């Protein structure tokens, strides 16, 4: 009986110390310098200074708080947009780490970095849209 109690106590302590980051990223806006990511249960919309992107799959964190998902990136430009102008999105990876209300995010196309960002949940973005 004592052995059972001791073992149960150890299991309880271990479960309380285990990382609890598994699951999804908290929904709502996450923002930082030059970026805002609006997370939903189904993915996220991403707004950059002169581009936008989309994540169409749920963003799931592993036990360490890391994520790595497919998405799109569509460059924008200043000045008028032509009526027949159509810039196709390119496939990218959105990967990073979440620790409470802070997210580090890297955006890559193939092996090329399109940017690294630090975002805070619920903060206001600092975007400078190209005009």
Per-residue pLDDT of 72-104, as tens digits, reads 999 987 766 667 778 899 999 999 999 999 999
> In which band, very low, low, confident or very high, does the pLDDT at 10 lie, cut at 50, 70 and 90?
very low
Q: Structure pTM?
A: 0.78
Dihedral of the alpha carbons of 28, 86, 72, 80, in degrees to the nearest 10: -50
The rounded Cα 4 to chain-centroid distance in angstroms is 43
What range does the domain containing 80 cover? 21-121
Evaluate whether residue 73 is within a structural domain.
yes
Evaluate whether residue 30 is within a structural domain.
yes
Whole-angstrom distance, CA of residue 117 vs CA of residue 131: 22
Evaluate whether residue 4 is within a structural domain.
no
> In which band, very low, low, confident or very high, does the pLDDT at 24 lie, cut at 50, 70 and 90?
confident
Does residue 130 carry a pLDDT above 60?
A: yes
Whole-angstrom distance, CA of residue 31 vs CA of residue 10: 40
DSSP codes joined into one string, 29-89: EEEEBTEEEEEETTEEEEEETTEEEEE-S--EE-TTSEEEEEEEEEE--SSPPPTT-----
Does residue 36 carry a pLDDT above 50?
A: yes
Average pLDDT, the chain: 83
Q: Which two tokens stand for residue 14?
A: 């271990």
Output the pLDDT for position 9: 37
Tally of structural domains, the chain:
1
């Amino acid at each position: 009986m004592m052995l059972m109690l001791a073992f149960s106590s150890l299991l309880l302590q271990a479960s309380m110390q285990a990382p609890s980051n598994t699951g999804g990223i908290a929904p709502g806006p996450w923002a930082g310098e030059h970026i805002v990511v609006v997370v939903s249960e189904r993915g996220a919309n991403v707004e950059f200074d002169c581009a936008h992107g989309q994540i169409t799959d749920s963003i799931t964190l592993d036990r360490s708080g890391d994520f790595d998902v497919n998405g799109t990136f569509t460059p924008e430009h200043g000045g008028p947009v032509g009526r027949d102008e159509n810039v196709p999105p390119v496939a990218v990876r959105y990967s990073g780490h979440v620790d409470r209300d802070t997210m580090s995010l890297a955006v890559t196309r193939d092996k090329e970095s399109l940017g690294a960002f630090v975002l805070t949940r619920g903060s206001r973005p600092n975007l400078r849209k190209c005009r």
